[in-house]
Amino acid sequence: MSFLRPSPENTGRDAALADADSAFRDDPLGFLDRASASADAALPIGRNGFIVRDPEDARAVLRNGDGRYREHSDFFHTRRGVFGPASAQLKIRRESRALLRAYLEAGRERALPAFVEGQLTPTSEWPDFGNRLAYRYLAPLLLAPDSPPRLRRLLGRIVERAVLANARARQPRLRRMLLQFATTLQLSRAIERRQQAARAQPVDLLDVVAGAIGPGQRLDELTEVFLSFVFAIAGSVGFVLGWSMYLIGTHPDRTAPPEWVVQEALRLWPVAWLLARHPAQDHDISGVAVGAHDDVIVCPYGVHRNPNYWPQADDFLPGRWSTPESWRNPAFIPFGHGPHRCVAADLSPRLVADILGIVMRSRTVTVEPHSTRPNVAAALAPPYFRLTLHPRG
């Protein structure tokens, strides 16, 4: 039997790819920062992975207008693939957006200020405080107040044990397995009961998910779609709020409007910082040939720090959002792009800005970082820090 000996050139390339993959896994943000000066629009990691940083190419991948990538949705992705049919996705998007908009508009003038003022304490530990605040305010949107207490307690446990920064890593494996079992069982039963009740109009997001498709759809898939709402509300919204507070407290210019602060937080620290797609056919992207065996990873973190599109791209400069050009900048995709862009892309930043404005209206803040390292996982969460509120003199 004969063996093909790799050439020194191939061996060197494979070693370089392995080193890049290891560096990315050990310190992904550091790897991206060090590569920022590279002229390559696509960064190779491992043998079959490519990180896309060019804004136009990133948008093309996510838009997938020519069908070069397999159907994928970060929100509707389940263990069985992409939840469908497309009509059910569209129904969920339309009804959830209508519910969210109505809920936020109804509470903006009175309910939200009263809620935030009631939650604030002189000192608080973040980002957990921000996640809990977002969840508590939006919990009635997830489950109507007349929902079974046991079900509402379950959602609280999910937030504490699976949504907070590094929550999963802090839980023993057996405890995670038990929570997953209880979650699937209780939510499946709740969805089935909602389907049998069949309200004419949804009153909460569980109704929206339950009514998206008739009985017969696998309940565990519907459960995962509902959990996507839980993670988006308690996780994503809470982390954006945490980043906004962190940046205000660690930078001297604190006079910018809340809306600009939130936009700049989303630019510098996009919570959804990696969006993976899988080619359905061979093609070139960012000067790299890719095929069905490759992973093409759109990186909003890298796109947002492209110096060709953002002057002083690594700096916190909320004043840049004073110009209409910034709001139209193609190198800004914190909520994805194309048909699967987040349904709350314009609503959730407004909520965070409203909360920020309420906090800052009569207070100043100081931030004491417990670490300078972001919490890097599927979501990009702020470092742990203590927030102290001071009355304005």
Quick check: 15 pLDDT over 70?
no
> What is the DSSP code (8-state) at residue 127?
T
What pLDDT is recorded for position 12?
Answer: 47
Q: Which residue has the tokens 């569209």?
A: 90
Q: Is residue 379 part of a domain?
A: yes
Tell me which of 120-124, 195-199, 231-235, 378-382 is least confident.
195-199
Please give the pLDDT value at position 14.
54
Q: What is the reported pLDDT for 45?
A: 86
The answer as to whether 2 is a domain residue is no
Give the global pTM: 0.92
Mean of pLDDT values over 16-20: 58
Residue 106 lies inside a defined structural domain of this protein? yes
- Domain contains 100: yes
Residue 1 lies inside a defined structural domain of this protein: no
**Residues of the domain holding 351:** 8-391
pLDDT band at 61 (very low <50, low <70, confident <90, very high): very high
- Domain assignment present for residue 361? The answer is yes
Write down the number of H helices and E strands in the chain: 15, 13
Residues 6+ apart with CB under 8 A from 118: none
**pLDDT band (50, 70, 90) for residue 39:** low
- Indicate the pLDDT class of residue 260, thresholds 50, 70 and 90: very high
Inform me whether the pLDDT recorded for 2 exceeds 60: no
249 in a domain, yes or no?
yes
What pLDDT, on a 0 to 100 scale, did the predictor assign at position 265? 98
* 72 lies in some domain: yes
> pLDDT tens digit string along 281-315?
999 999 999 999 999 999 999 999 999 999 999 99
pLDDT at 125 over 60: yes
**pLDDT at position 393 over 90:** no
Evaluate if residue 249 carries a pLDDT over 60: yes
Number of domains in the chain: 1
**166, 375 in Cβ contact below 8 A?**
yes
The percentage of residues in the chain with a pLDDT greater than 70, rounded to a whole number, is 93
**Which CATH number characterizes residue 214's domain?**
1.10.630.10
Cβ neighbours, 10 Å, residue 179 = 18
Residue pLDDT, tens place only, 277-286 = 999 999 999 9
Per-residue pLDDT, averaged over 19-29, amounts to 80
Q: Is the pLDDT of residue 94 over 80?
A: yes
Burial of 58 (0-12, 13-18, 19+ CB in 10 A): buried
